[in-house]
Every structure is written in C-alpha cells, then in structure tokens.
Structure 1
C-alpha cells in the first residue's frame, strides 16, 4: 500500500503525500481494501499529513458515501501533534470536527503515544463488539 502502513494488526499509519486527485482516488481504493476486511481498525495520522485540495475532493466524497461503514469499523483516528501549540489548537477545534466525523478522533503527542491510544481503542471496540 502506498498510503497506509500497518504498524500492528488493525493499526494503520497514514503515509505519503496526498497532492493530486489521483492520489485521493488511490487513497480511497486503499482505504476501501482496509474496510473490506470487516474488522475494527485505527488509523494514525501525523499532523503535517493533510491532503492538498486536489486530493481532498475524492476523499471527502468517499467519506460521505461511507459514513455508516466508517462509523462501524473505524474505532478511532489518532492524530499525532508533537508541537504543543498545534495540539492545543486542534483540541479547541476537535468538538466541531467531531460532529462531522463518523468515528472518534483522538490526539497524541508522539507515535508511541498514538500506538498506546490505538491499542486502547481497539480493545474497547473488541469488547463492545463481543457484547453486541
């Protein structure tokens, strides 16, 4: 995969620059492949890995179309913000962003912190699934 690297089972790190519309379509295809597995998962994203406008359009349309599936299978997206000021700004923006998101969004200070939080979210998702 070009845009996702599995760090641990069902924990994926978003990688690669999303610059063009083709990048956005490729990202969508890869994310579809992850969802097709039908298992709870967590995606970790670094603070600087925001898609450029060209890549964003197919991604946004895809996310709107897959909202229910994303809500069911994505235990969380964990955003790594090593810079404290950036993290605080995101903390302030998070409640508004959470309203539009079908899955929980979590902030982390490092990749190690993100992995810990991802493991916790997967464990919680597994427990919830077992109870359902």
Structure 2
C-alpha cells in the first residue's frame, strides 16, 4: 500500500504525499480495500500528510458516500500534531469538528502517543461491539 501502513493489527498510519487528483483516487482505493476487510480499525494521520486541494477533492467526495461504512468500521482517527499551538487550536476546535465526523477523532503530540490512543480507541470499540452482540 502506498498511502497506508499497518503499524499493528487493525491500526494504520497514513503515509505518502497526497498532492494530485490521482493520489486522491489512489488513497480512496486503498481505503476501500481496508473497509472491505469488514474489521474495526483505527487510523493515525500525521500533520504533514494533509492533502493538497487536487487530491482532497476525490477524498472528500469519497468520504461523503462512505459515511455510514466509515462510522461502522473506523473506531477513530488520531491526528499527530507536533506544534503545540496548532495542537491546542485543533483540540479547541475538536467538539465542532466531531459533529461532522462519522467516527471519533483524537489529537496526539507524537506518533508514539497516537499509537497508544489508537489502541485504546480500538480496544474500546471492540469491547462495545462484543457487548452489543451478547
């Protein structure tokens, strides 16, 4: 995969630059493959991997059409924002942004912290899913 790397089972790190429309379509194809597994997962996104507008357009359109599936299979996304001021700004904006997101969103200062948060989010979602089955 060019745009996602599995860090551990069901935890993926977004990788690769998203600059062109073709990149956006490649990202959506890979994300479709992850969703096709039918398993809960957590995604970690680093601050430097924000898509440029040409890549972002197909990604946004794809997310709108997959909102229910994303809500069902993505336990959460953790954004790594190393800059303290920017991280604080994002944390303050999180409640408003959470309303638009089909899955929980968290913020971390480092990839290591993001991995820990992703594990907690995923474990919680799996426990909830198991309880719902009982």
Structure 1 segments, 4+ long, off by >6 Å, are: none
Equivalences for 1:63-78 in 2 at 5 Å? 63-78=63-78
3-state DSSP class of the match of 2:23?
Answer: helix
Instruction: Report the CA distance between 1:92 and its aligned residue.
Output: 1.7
Report the 3-state secondary structure (helix = DSSP H, G, I; strand = E; otherwise coil) of the residue aligned with 1:2: coil
Instruction: Structure 2: give runs of 5+ residues left out of the alignment.
Output: none
C-alpha distance in 2, partners of 1:53/1:89? 22
RMSD of aligned residue pairs (Cα, Å) = 0.7
Gaps of at least 5 residues in structure 1 are none
Deviation at 1:23, TM superposition (A): 0.3
Q: TM-score, normalised by structure 2?
A: 0.96
Aligned residue pairs, count: 132
CA distance in 2, matches of 1:73, 1:24: 20
2-side partners of 1:98 and 1:50: how far apart?
Answer: 18
Q: Does 1:116 align with 2:116?
A: yes
Is 2:24 aligned against 1:24? yes
What pairs up with 1:49-88 in 2 under 5 angstroms?
49-88=49-88
